[in-house]
Amino acid sequence: MRFVSIPENGASWREKLIYVIDAESDVGVDLAVEIIDTSLGQLASLNIYNVTSAEIDIAPYLRASVDEAPTDGTEGLAWSTAALSVVVRINGVESPERLFYRAQLDCSQPRILSKLPIRPIVSLDETIRMTIFSPRAVEVRAVFASLAPVNRTYRLVTAGRPVEFTLPLANISITQGLRIVVLCDGEHQASYDYVITPRDKSARQLVWYNEDGGVESYTFPKSVRLGYSADIAEGQSRVKSRRVMRRLCSAYESAEEIERIVQMIFSQSVYLVTERECVLQRDIKRCIEFSPQGTLSQLKIDVVEEWRGGEL
């Protein structure tokens, strides 16, 4: 038994990932197929009966196994949960290891997959997120400008996987600003000077992934309530869930920033950041407003969040 062809390293599991097998037998044989992530273990298994050759698309099995949600608010660097290092084992014969990701990835060059502005705006109750790819290692240095400046350094051996950097600001003392410096394999890759700005209580942050598989976020400075809904448990008098519908309105941003956040319109999954987690928005209305001159002007999105009581 041998592998005739396998997908390229860095291919996306949103496309077909076909392994072509030659059983090297003139009569039909049974194939016991195992799909294995080198860190997580076996993801799936299947049996193919009485064949002399086979083509196996493993993409559906990877999509069923992968966790696409953004990482939680844990501080530091972590391997992306949407990246899998896969080996396919058939009747005991293993394929070469391949990295598969949510988007096709050039594994030869380090880069920041998130498309951040050089001077991002953030408030002290928000979380900084970015996705980084480096073949061997990533180092992120955070320099907090305050009365007593603090530096923090985060390092991670990537093993060829994209990594997520997450930095919740709620428990960090910052009074003036924040600089984030990213090094890939020991070389400077990018620097970002964050501008600390207070937000209105109606502000809401959304998180999504761009076409390169990099995490993106944007805080809509204002939102307005559209209505409320409730589900009543069948046969009972208690309320099962309570929700409030909101319309989020972006600021009138620069052309570059509008181009970045407008990609949210076409992202497969969009998440609303709450105090506890990132909540997938399943049925949201997304629209773009153009100015009379035909240029992108403002982004509006309708979202649903849990209502926890308070003023109607």
Q: Which of 160, 131, 130 is nearest to 39 (CA)?
A: 160
- The pLDDT of residue 281 is 82
Does residue 217 sit in the same domain as residue 276?
Answer: yes
Q: What is the H or E stretch that residue 299 is in?
A: strand 296-306
Q: What is the pLDDT of residues 106-121, one digit of tens each?
A: 888 999 999 998 899 8
Q: What is the pLDDT of residues 194-242, one digit of tens each?
A: 988 888 888 989 999 998 899 999 999 988 877 777 666 665 666 656 7
Let me know: does 180 contact 138? Beta carbons within 8 Å: no
Rg (the chain; Cα; Å): 23
More confident residue, 24 or 292: 24
Residue 218: partners with Cβ closer than 8 Å, 6 or more residues away: 205, 206, 250, 260, 261, 264
- The single-letter DSSP state of residue 71 is P
| pLDDT over 50 at 312, yes or no | no
Domain's final residue, options 170, 198, 226: 198
More confident residue, 146 or 247: 247
Distance CA 144, CA 136 (A): 27
Does residue 294 sit in the same domain as residue 204?
Answer: yes
Average pLDDT, the chain: 86
- The pLDDT of residue 241 is 65
- The single-letter DSSP state of residue 40 is T
In a domain, residue 312? The reply is: no
More confident residue, 62 or 311: 62
Backbone φ and ψ of 135, nearest 5°? -60, -30
Q: What pLDDT band is residue 46 in, cutting at 50, 70 and 90?
A: very high
Percent of the chain at pLDDT above 70?
89
Q: What is the pLDDT of residues 262-271, one digit of tens each?
A: 888 888 888 9
- The pLDDT of residue 306 is 73
Give CA 58 to chain center in angstroms.
21
CATH of the domain at 160: 2.60.40.1930
pTM of the model: 0.83
Does residue 209 sit in the same domain as residue 173?
Answer: no
Q: Is 262 exposed, middle or buried (0-12, 13-18, 19+ CB in 10 A)?
A: middle
Distance CA 167, CA 180 (A): 10
In a domain, residue 156? The reply is: yes
Q: Per-residue pLDDT averaged across 132-144, rounded?
A: 93
Residue 176: partners with Cβ closer than 8 Å, 6 or more residues away: 145, 146, 196
Helix, strand, coil in percent for the chain, rounding step 5: 5, 50, 40
- The pLDDT of residue 208 is 92
The listed range with the strongest mean pLDDT (68-72, 214-218, 221-225, 308-312) is: 214-218
DSSP-assigned letters across all residues of 42-60: EEEEEEEEEESEEEEE-HH
Residue 232: partners with Cβ closer than 8 Å, 6 or more residues away: 238, 239, 240
Domain's final residue, options 198, 225, 254: 198
Total domains in the chain come to: 3
Q: Per-residue pLDDT averaged across 252-266, rounded?
A: 84
Does residue 194 sit in the same domain as residue 243?
Answer: no
222-232 and 239-249 strand pairing: antiparallel
Percent of the chain at pLDDT above 90?
46
- Residue 171 lies in domain: 106-198
Does residue 207 sit in the same domain as residue 303?
Answer: yes
- The pLDDT of residue 52 is 95
Does residue 191 sit in the same domain as residue 243?
Answer: no
Least confident of 122-136, 183-197, 286-300: 286-300
Does residue 56 sit in the same domain as residue 119?
Answer: no
In a domain, residue 192? The reply is: yes
Does residue 177 sit in the same domain as residue 207?
Answer: no
